[in-house]
Amino acid sequence: MSTPTEVPAALRAAVDEAKERVARLHAELPRWELVVWTAGNVSERVRGTAGDGSDDLLVIKPSGVSYDELTAGSMVVCDLDGNLVEGERAPSSDTAAHAYVYKHMDHVGGVVHTHSTYATAWAARGEEIPCVLTMMADEFGGPIPVGPFAIIGDDSIGRGIVETLTGHRSRAVLMRNHGPFTIGKDAKDAVKAAVLLEEVARTVHVSRQVGEPLPIEQQYVDSLYDRYQNVYGQH
């Protein structure tokens, strides 16, 4: 584990707030049955003062720590090269993947990785989830794509995520033989995507047990996506 440096004073308040949010959001993963034991992680970007992303940081859980033990104080802070900036424990083994996504997708403010059962089952088959539900059109704008097989520990997974999601509406990717990653404007948004991903993965799987699901025509997918993203809810 690298030696921690120091959180810049100008980012201190933002980092502390992110730690609180990320700690709370980790509790949502077992609540929605998206993880078992210590698997899975949530991270959030803390934007720096340079304005070009060069001094951005990320907050993520430590590796191998029980969800019941996670607090704001136990969260780990890293730079976008995956180097430890603050924390007493080793960062999540997926930190390099998260860091790579932030470094190469500037619009992303939150990343979530789970091993949720149904989404991971699709990933094990290396099969995208077809867009056969209005919920999918609303939230993901089409099918859920499959990313390449990649080994944990370096930025290979991050590269696969970025390659797969660049130019794609989906905020979720099924990394082959591994599991789902979701992105969002912040950590809460990415957690929401992870919850809805598992719901559609389960529903489409169940549908296929009794017959072949009917695809939604592209014009309606486009219309549903536009309405949900730009009209639905409070703005």
- Please check whether residue 79 lies inside any domain of the structure: yes
Residues 144/125, Cβ–Cβ less than 8 Å: no
- Please check whether residue 182 lies inside any domain of the structure: yes
Structure tokens at 8: 């810049």
- Please check whether residue 1 lies inside any domain of the structure: no
What burial class does residue 115 get, using C-beta atoms within 10 Å of its C-beta: 0-12 exposed, 13-18 middle, 19+ buried?
Answer: middle
- Please check whether residue 4 lies inside any domain of the structure: no
What's the pLDDT tens digit per position in 122-157? Answer: 999 999 999 999 999 999 999 999 999 999 989 999
> Confidence class of residue 2 from pLDDT cuts 50, 70 and 90?
low
Please report how many Cα atoms fall inside a 13 Å half-sphere around the Cα of residue 90, on the Cβ side.
8
What's the pLDDT tens digit per position in 90-125? Answer: 999 999 999 999 999 999 999 999 999 999 999 999
- CATH code of the domain covering residue 199: 3.40.225.10
The pLDDT score that the predictor gives to residue 1 is: 57
Q: Could you give the number of structural domains in the chain?
A: 1
State how far the Cα of 213 lies from the Cα of 224, in Å rounded to an integer.
Answer: 18
- Please check whether residue 3 lies inside any domain of the structure: no
* Positions marked catalytic: 138, 232
What's the pLDDT tens digit per position in 184-225? Answer: 999 999 999 999 999 999 999 999 999 999 999 999 999 999
For residue 164, what are the domain limits? 9-230
State how far the Cα of 2 lies from the Cα of 94, in Å rounded to an integer.
Answer: 15
Beta bridge partners of 180: 174
DSSP tag of 214: P
- Please check whether residue 127 lies inside any domain of the structure: yes
